[in-house]
Amino acid sequence: MDKKSLIEQQKEKWENTTLKKVLQKFPEQKESFSTSSWLPVERLYLPRQMSEEEYLERIGFPGEYPFTRGVQPTMYRGRFWTMRQYAGFGTAEESNQRYKYLLSQGQTGLSVAFDLPTQIGYDSDDPRSVGEVGKVGVAIDSLEDMEILFRGIPLDKVSTSMTINAPAAVLLAFYIAVAQKQGVAKEQLRGTIQNDILKEYIARGTYIFPPKPSLRLITNIFEYCSKEVPKWNTISISGYHIREAGSTAAQEVAFTLADGIEYVKAAIKVGLDVDQFAGRLSFFFNAHNDLFEEIAKFRAARRIWAKIMKEKFQAKKEKSMMLRFHTQTGGSTLTAQQPDNNIVRVTIQTLAAVLGGTQSLHTNSRDEALGLPTEDSVRIALRTQQIVAYESGVTNTVDPLAGSYFIENLTDKIEEEVLKYLNKIETMGGMVQAIENGYVQKEIQDAAYKYQQEIEKGDRVVVGVNKFTVEQEKPKEILRVNPLLRKVQSEKLMKLRKNRNNQEVDKALQALREGARDESVNLMPLILDAAKAYATLGEICNVLRDEFGEYRESIVL
């Protein structure tokens, strides 16, 4: 009569007969098994009794609360995820060429990588920019560079994601200004700015200002865009870098959602209605090698966020409860040894993202542990997505792994772990406090240390690194950035500063300075004015540095 107990009985019988016989002759490879992030994994998962009510409440239907099965009712049957390769290097001219190449190869959205001086709000001719200009992305010093970057790319046709955080408002202003010059209205623009400062303090490191003024800039953007650029994703709350820094899968979700909670709180605190901005929040996660753990992670993240938005923040619109996310495959899982093996890793990670219901995806290139990817490597990475989309068949049904005893169990486990962290952070007074007292960084570092120690001891196998190694590796072709780039950019800047209307620049910067002093002012229109007057990124950020001060890392080891 009781289905579960019958299965249980049979299980016991199986353990004592079939299983026992085999184990006596062939013991398992390890005493215990776990996911990559140390969640225990049992030998066998069995059906768990779940009432229909419980199914509807916790799993439900795609496109409906709590979105465990996905944010759209048809998922990839309607349209594939956006294939979006993060790219940019050297000058705006070179990056513009790479974008046109990627679009010609079937990429469906742009993703701009900026160099580090741009990300930290320094002009290329700043002494702190030495060695870094154009290295990890494109160097953008002013609107002039941005005009070149998007030359010949119609901004009403593409959606553009920009990995920019501390100076996100400035780069968004450059983008809006370029669009206007192309005759494209703000209202038509589609894209995303990362704009997630909290994870910069935790993991990524391109912060400028302290938390308080940084949160103000973020809420200024939320407010401005909700009125002026309504299709723009105003933030991409990112777990990617947290995971790259060595966190577990559950920590990745926990700390990302904790950051998200902080942004929602900040926006509500300045008087925004939750449904006015929450629909434009987007997320960004990592995809590592442990296929099932990753899939469960994405599903758990959607369910938890939906519940937080509905219950904690009383969102009314379904859109406000949807966790839409971009995924990038895991850079830290790639090896410098036998780099072609990375193509296989990226394929597994692509499957994880797709089976987890991602909205867009960047696949890493095989040679990223060696340097900047070559055009060949980038093409293979994009083809990997296309093969999964067009050939593997995994896109034909929605959330295909739902109902797997293991996947549902793991989804619950991750949810449990995440909720523990969220409660702990709440009792600490929120995420800003948890970051300032180093708690979050310490948790990540401990996980990273443990992980690396397992590799050192050989307990964790990394193919080609601590097992199946080869002696001599043949050198790989890598992409080089022109070392004289800083000089090229500096000369451009000199010319710009000579030719622009400097009176207008000074006026715009002075207005920005005054605005910065008055917390009730939205800085976005003032930054846009300065951008249009060809004030440089460094000049704009320096005004804000003067007024807001700079953040200093709290070192935890």
Partner 1 sequence: MSRKIRILISKPGLDGHDRGAKYIARALKDAGYEVIYMGIRQSPEAIVKTAIQEDVDFVGLSLLSGAHNELFPEVVRLLREQGANDVIVFGGGVIPQEDISYLKEQGIEAVFTPGTPIQKVIEFIETNKERVLH
Q: Which of 7, 41, 103, 136 binds partner 1 (CB under 8 A)?
A: 136
Task: Single out the residue of 225, 195, 45 nearest to residue 119, CA to CA.
Answer: 195
Pick the stretch among 9-17, 424-432, 442-450, 520-528 that binds partner 1 (CB under 8 A): 442-450
Residue 422 burial (10 A CB sphere; 0-12, 13-18, 19+): buried
Among 26, 27, 31, 555, binds partner 1 (CB under 8 A): 555
> Among 123, 125, 132, 294, which residue sits at the site for partner 1 (rule: CB under 8 A)?
132
Indicate the angle between helix axes 524-532 and 537-548, nearest 10 degrees. 150
Which lies closer to partner 1 via its Cβ, residue 17 or residue 452? 452
Q: Interface with partner 1 includes 203 (CB under 8 A)?
A: yes
Instruction: Tell the smallest beta-carbon distance from residue 337 to partner 1 (Å).
Output: 5
Note whether 154 binds partner 1 by CB under 8 A: no
Q: If we measure between CA atoms, which residue out of 482, 533, 488 comes closest to residue 124? A: 488
- Is 449 one of the binding residues for partner 1 (CB under 8 A)? yes
- The 3-state secondary structure of 504-523 reads HHHHHHHHHHHHHHCCCCCC
Q: Which residue has the tokens 């434009």?
A: 280
Could you give the CA distance from residue 332 to residue 467 in angstroms, rounded to a whole number? Answer: 18
Q: What are phi and psi of 194, to 5 degrees?
A: -65, -55
| Min dist. Cβ of residue 495 to partner 1 (A) | 24
Query: For 340-407, what is the HEC assignment?
Result: CHHHHHHHHHHHHHHHCCCCEEECCCCCCCCCECCHHHHHHHHHHHHHHHHCCCCCCCCCCCCCCHHH
Q: Is residue 456 close enough to count as binding partner 1 by CB under 8 A? A: yes
Side-chain half-sphere of 176: how many Cα atoms within 13 Å? Answer: 25
Q: Determine if 344 is a binding residue for partner 1 (CB under 8 A).
A: no
**3-state DSSP call for residue 76?**
helix
537 is an interface residue for partner 1 by CB under 8 A: no
Smaller CB distance to partner 1: residue 276 or 466? Answer: 466
CB of 334 to partner 1, least distance (A): 9
Query: Distance between CA 498 and CA 536 in Å, rounded?
Result: 12
C-beta closer to partner 1: residue 50 or 478: 478
Residue 3 Cβ, how far from partner 1 at the closest point, in Å? 48
The helix (H) or strand (E) run that includes residue 284 is strand 281-287
Q: Does 465 bind partner 1 (CB under 8 A)?
A: yes
- Give the one residue of 63, 205, 210, 438 binding partner 1; rule: CB under 8 A: 205
Give the position of tokens 């950020």. Answer: 541
Asked if residue 515 lies in contact with residue 521, where contact means CB atoms within 8 angstroms, the answer is yes
* 470 in contact with partner 1 (CB under 8 A): no
Name the residue with tokens 């929040």.
281
In the complex, least distance from residue 217 CB atom to partner 1, rounded to whole angstroms: 19
For partner 1, the closer CB: 70 or 117? 117
- Beta-bridged to residue 111, according to DSSP, are 86, 161
Q: Which of 250, 287, 372, 527 binds partner 1 (CB under 8 A)?
A: 372
Choice from 452, 499, 501, 510 touching partner 1 (CB under 8 A): 452
CA distance 118 to 109: 22
Which residue, 145 or 200, has its beta carbon nearer to partner 1?
200
**Shortest spacing between CB 372 and partner 1, in angstroms:** 7
Answer yes or no whether residue 417 interacts with partner 1 by CB under 8 A: no
Whose Cβ is closer to partner 1: residue 66's or residue 373's? 373
Q: Does 445 bind partner 1 (CB under 8 A)?
A: yes
Residue 318: count of CB within 10 angstroms of its CB:
16
Measured CA to CA, the distance from residue 453 to residue 456 in angstroms comes to 5
130 near partner 1, judged by CB under 8 A:
yes
State the minimum distance, in angstroms, from the CB of residue 528 to partner 1: 26
For partner 1, give the closer residue by CB, 135 or 413: 135
> How many residues does the structure list for the chain?
557
The binding track of 50-89 with respect to partner 1, each residue x by CB under 8 A or -, is: ----------------------------------------
Give the nearest distance from C-beta 284 to partner 1 in angstroms. Answer: 16
Are the C-beta atoms of 364 and 306 separated by less than 8 Å? no
Nearer to partner 1 by C-beta: 336 or 521? 336
Reported as half-sphere exposure (CB side, CA atoms, 13 A), residue 336 has a value of 7
1 sits near partner 1 (criterion: CB under 8 A)? no
The answer to whether 325 and 309 are in contact (CB under 8 A) is no
Given candidates 7, 184, 268, 448, which one binds partner 1 under the rule CB under 8 A? Answer: 448
68 versus 118: smaller Cβ distance to partner 1: 118
- Nearer to partner 1 (CB atom), residue 320 or residue 441: 441
Q: Which residues bind partner 1 (CB under 8 A)?
A: 116-117, 119-120, 128-132, 135-136, 200, 203-206, 244-246, 332, 335-337, 369-372, 445, 448-449, 452, 456, 462, 465-466, 475, 478, 481, 483, 553, 555, 557
